[in-house]
Chains A and B, each alone.
Chain A
Amino acid sequence: MHRVKLHRQILTLIKKDISLEYKSLESLAGMVLFLLATVYTCFLTFKKMPTAEVWNALFWIIIIFSGFNAISGSFKNETGGKHFYLYFLINPKALILAKIIYNSFLMLTLSIIGLAVFALFLGTNVLEDINFLSFFIGLVLTSLGLSGILTIISAIASQLDFKGGIIAVLGLPLLFPLILISQKYSAQALSGVSASGNMNFLLGLLTLNVAVITLSYVLFPYLWRQ
Chain B
Amino acid sequence: MAKNWWKIVGAILVIYATAFSFLRPLEPGIIQTDKTELVLGQNTFSVTGYNSHFVDYSSSLQGFLRVDSLRALPLTILDIKDNVHAEFSVNIPADIDKTVLDLFLSNDRTGSIFLPAAFRIDQSKGNPAASNEYTNVAFSSGEEISFEFPFQLRIFDTIRNLNFHVPMWFTMFVLMGLSLWYSIRYLNSDKIEYDLKAASSAKVALIFCSLGLITGSIWARFAWGDWWTTDAKLNGAAVSFLLLAAYFILRKSAEDKPNKAKIAAVYNILSFFMTMALIMVLPRLTGAASLHPGEDGNPAFSSYDLDSNLRMVFYPACAGWIITGIWIYNLHYRISNLKNTRS
Which residues on B sit within 8 Å (CB–CB) of A223? 259, 262-263, 266
Q: Is the CB of A177 within 8 A of B274?
A: yes
Which residues on B sit within 8 Å (CB–CB) of A201? 285
Which residues on B sit within 8 Å (CB–CB) of A174? 243, 270-271, 274
What is the 8 Å Cβ interface bit string for chain A, positions 166-210, against chain B (1 contact, 0 not)? Answer: 100110111011001100100000000000000011001001100
What is the 8 Å Cβ interface bit string for chain A, positions 152-168, against chain B (1 contact, 0 not)? Answer: 10001001111000100
Q: In angstroms, how far is the closest chain A Cβ from the Cβ of B135?
A: 50
- Select which of A170, A173, A177, A226 is within 8 A of B282 by beta carbon: A177
Q: Is the CB of B246 within 8 A of A181?
A: no
Q: Is the CB of B259 within 8 A of A180?
A: no
Q: How far is the CA of A161 from the CA of B254 in the complex (A)?
A: 8
Q: Is the CB of A226 within 8 A of B274?
A: no
Which residues on A sit within 8 Å (CB–CB) of B246? 169-170, 173
Q: In angstroms, how far is the closest chain A Cβ from the Cβ of B288?
A: 9
Which residues on A sit within 8 Å (CB–CB) of B274? 149, 173-174, 176-177
Given contacts A201-B285, A204-B281, contact A173 B271 (CB under 8 A): yes
Which residues on B sit within 8 Å (CB–CB) of A172? 242
Which residues on B sit within 8 Å (CB–CB) of A137? none
The yes or no answer to B187 lying at the interface (CB within 8 A) is yes
- Select which of B239, B262, B265, B277 is within 8 A of A208 by beta carbon: B277
Q: How far is the CA of A166 from the CA of B273 in the complex (A)?
A: 20
Q: Is the CB of A211 within 8 A of B277?
A: yes
The yes or no answer to B173 lying at the interface (CB within 8 A) is no
Given contacts A173-B239, A208-B277, contact A219 B271 (CB under 8 A): no
The yes or no answer to A222 lying at the interface (CB within 8 A) is yes
Q: Which residue of B lies closest to A152 (CB)?
A: B270
The yes or no answer to A215 lying at the interface (CB within 8 A) is yes
- Report the count of interface residues on A (CB-CB < 8 A): 29
For window 106-138 of B, CB contacts with A under 8 Å fall at none
Q: How far is the CA of A204 from the CA of B249 in the complex (A)?
A: 30
- Select which of A169, A200, A222 is within 8 A of B266 by beta carbon: A222
For window 36-70 of B, CB contacts with A under 8 Å fall at none
Q: How far is the CA of A191 from the CA of B257 in the complex (A)?
A: 50
Given contacts A159-B254, A166-B250, A166-B253, contact A226 B262 (CB under 8 A): yes
Q: Which residue of B lies closest to A175 (CB)?
A: B274
- Select which of B235, B253, B258 is within 8 A of A180 by beta carbon: B235
Q: Is the CB of B250 within 8 A of A170?
A: yes
Q: Is the CB of B249 within 8 A of A219?
A: no
What is the 8 Å Cβ interface bit string for chain B, positions 242-286, against chain A (1 contact, 0 not)? Answer: 110010011001100111001101110111011001100110011
22 A-B interface contacts by CB (under 8 A): A152-B266, A159-B263, A160-B250, A161-B253, A169-B249, A170-B249, A173-B271, A174-B270, A174-B271, A177-B274, A177-B278, A181-B285, A181-B286, A204-B281, A204-B285, A207-B281, A211-B273, A222-B187, A222-B262, A223-B263, A226-B258, A226-B259
Seed contacts A162-B253, A173-B274; 14 additional CB < 8 Å A-B pairs: A173-B239, A173-B243, A174-B243, A176-B239, A176-B278, A177-B239, A181-B282, A204-B281, A204-B285, A207-B281, A211-B277, A215-B270, A219-B266, A219-B269
B residues whose Cβ falls under 8 Å from a Cβ of A: 187, 235, 239, 242-243, 246, 249-250, 253-254, 257-259, 262-263, 265-267, 269-271, 273-274, 277-278, 281-282, 285-286
